[in-house]
Chain A
Amino acid sequence: MYTFGIDIGSTTSKCVVMEDGQNIVGTSLLVGGIGTRSPELAVSQALENAGVTWDDLTATAATGYGRNRYEGADYNVSELSCHGLGAHHTFPTVRTIIDIGGQDAKVISLDEKGRMNNFLMNDKCAAGTGRFLDVMANILVVPVDEFAQYCEKSVNPAQISSTCTVFAESEVISQLANGVEMEDLIAGICSSVAVRVGNLAKRINIVPDVCMSGGVAQNAGVRNALSRSIGQPILFSPQAQLFGAIGAALYAYQKQVKK
């Protein structure tokens, strides 16, 4: 049985085709989320990668910020539930998931059977999200995916004291003007996100194992800083950004099995 999950985020669209709720047979990840053509293209790409057609799918589920505007799915599920399912599928021992997406951050707590038992979402604020990193990357003219390399070279990470993204932007410009090294500045930026999200996570009882999901999970600079902030190692999967879509495909599978 093939099931399909689509995660339409604020900045990216992700799709997963699963076979029998176990094996991932096709994936796609495109820049561009809600309101763009990316969801449509991501669907085609994932199906092509899996070598199946839409008609081969038994059930589909949509998640993410754009789930309610996507009309092709059989089910709509909140992204927190899907990230929980997807993370547990990848890491069966995981109990705490920290999801940093394009525009928000969430912490999900699972019980030993992988059932969600608590969650927290950040305030409507760009600080502590992928958007914060994007804004800083634009100022520094350094791609976000190179941040980790800079962090490794940092000796004396800069302090970014402003919580607000707008104020932090001014602060980073001031630090650039004062000659702070790029690697220290980038390490400080990653640390700023990590501390903010780490404090959100501390409001929930952090039970190991901990993993990250969402696009920012790819950023080792933030991941390592977050690990230091919460005092726990963080499990990482290259598929972390697909956890929502994996969870959606699993949800669709579970619904079919229950029928």
Chain B
Amino acid sequence: MNKQELLACFHEAVADPRKLMDKYLAEGRKVVLTAPVYTPEEIIHSMGMVPMGVWGADVQINEAKKYFPAFICTIMQSIVELGIKGVYDGASAIVIPSLCDSLKVIGQNWKYAVKGIPFIAMTYPQNRKPAFGHTFTKAGYEYVIRGLEEATGLKFDDEKLAESIEVYNAHNAAMRALVPALAAHSEITCAQRSDIFKSAFFMRKEEHTALVNELLAVLEAEAPAEDKIRIMTSGILADAPGLLEILDDNGMQIVCDDVAAESRQYRTDAPAEGETALDRLASKFCAMDNCSVLYDVEKKRVDKIVSDAKAAKAKGVLVVLTKFCDPEEFDYPLIKRACAEAEIPCVLIEVDRQMVNYEQARTAIETFKDLL
């Protein structure tokens, strides 16, 4: 396929993930939903099922408001809204991790709000670096496995998990290679870049890896395009079409990111060594860092944002803050200060899953452009 055809594939997956889900179901595959931020997809994959990421959608939230206070993350609310409205019907289960306070709440509400799709909790440890953190994580995965076996009738096999880990590590490598490749090809818009990352949550990993590698080969063969305004993005999500359109309108190019739904997913591989494949997978989580929902008293994430921005020659950092996201809000003052010390302009825009009017964001981004 040529570049445009590949980009169209990614866009098609993002434009209608339900179509993909129906295709998997028609092929006789079971689908398990995976909520943000980190879910052990490899386990689901190893049991022969298709994990599909659910990060909500830009929808009007009505029914879910029965279950949540007003000032809570709209990613969570929109996941429940879509669940209530039957958008996920046919899924065998949903795995929801416990990585922030809002996520802890959603699982309990899901049980009452969405009857047909069993909720499986993935409880992660706060302290993941010591040995007990590994033990705790592994126990959490074993709980998920029991839940999946009960919900689907399928059985877990550690050898199969080892094979799935290879599939996921290969995908991680492709996604990591994608970032510098896209940074060199400014003709790929911010919206198209988002499609590539977002489609990874919906497509089977083998297929997505193959498409990304094909795109990398096409980009490698082409001469790099002239730079636009090079920026770094940071936040939980940066996929709102209205926001991406403004970035593209203003000639901006995302040359690296610290977005939870994008690069943060792919930074860490499961290690090659481990007593069992499940131990390897637990080690992967314990090795993860540099994320607002992963406890780190030293906040090394902040330095990483600055060093990544410098390495990618980003002229500025755009923090896309999901409204009412406590973990991201706690980190923002530190990010702002670190960027100021490094003389990297940093601007914040707040987004949520119910935004209709992006004019304030447009003003902020246009001013950011003037600043850069």
Contact = CB atoms under 8 A, between A and B. Distances in A.
B367 A119 contact: yes
B166 interface: no
A79 interface: yes
Interface string B345-367: 10100100000000110111011
B68 to A, nearest CB: 19
B371 interface: yes
B362 A117 contact: no
A81 B370 contact: yes
A138 B135 CA distance: 63
B202 to A, nearest CB: 31
The prevalent SS among residues of B at the interface is helix
Q: Count chain B CB atoms within 10 A of each CB in A77, A117, A121 and give the residue with the most.
A: A121
A121 B292 CA distance: 24
Contacts, number: 34
B370 A123 contact: no
A184 interface: no
B362 A68 contact: yes
Contacts of B347: 119
A78 B359 contact: no
Interface in A54-108: 65, 68, 76-81, 104
B350 A119 contact: no
B371 A116 contact: yes
A42 B350 CA distance: 33
Contacts of A121: 360, 363-364
Contacts of A78: 363, 366-367, 370
A113 interface: no
Q: Count chain B CB atoms within 10 A of each CB in A68, A78, A80, A116 and give the residue with the most.
A: A78
A123 B371 contact: no
Q: Count chain A CB atoms within 10 A of each CB in B347, B350, B363, B370 and give the residue with the most.
A: B363
Interface residues of A, number: 16
A117 B370 CA distance: 10
Interface string A96-139: 00000000100000000000111101011000000000000000
A145 to B, nearest CB: 27
A104 B371 contact: no
Contact of B350 (A104, A117, A123): A123
Interface in B3-45: none
Contacts of B371: 116-119
Nearest to A68: B362
Nearest to A121: B364
A104 B362 CA distance: 14
A65 B359 contact: yes
Contacts of A80: 363, 367, 370
Contact of B360 (A68, A76, A118, A124): A124
Contacts of B362: 68
A24 to B, nearest CB: 23
A104 B360 contact: yes
A123 B364 CA distance: 11
Nearest to A81: B370
Contact of A79 (B345, B350, B363): B363
Nearest to B365: A78
Nearest to B362: A68
B69 to A, nearest CB: 15
B359 A81 contact: no
A100 B272 CA distance: 58
A58 to B, nearest CB: 22
Contacts of A76: 366
A104 B145 CA distance: 51
Nearest to B323: A123
9 contacts: A68-B362, A76-B366, A77-B370, A79-B363, A80-B367, A118-B371, A119-B364, A123-B350, A124-B350
Given A77-B370, A116-B370, A119-B371, 9 more contacts: A65-B363, A68-B362, A77-B366, A78-B363, A78-B367, A80-B363, A80-B367, A123-B350, A124-B350
What are the 5 closest A-B residue pairs judged by CB atoms, nearest first? A78-B366, A80-B367, A78-B367, A81-B370, A78-B363
Interface of B: 345, 347, 350, 359-360, 362-364, 366-367, 370-371
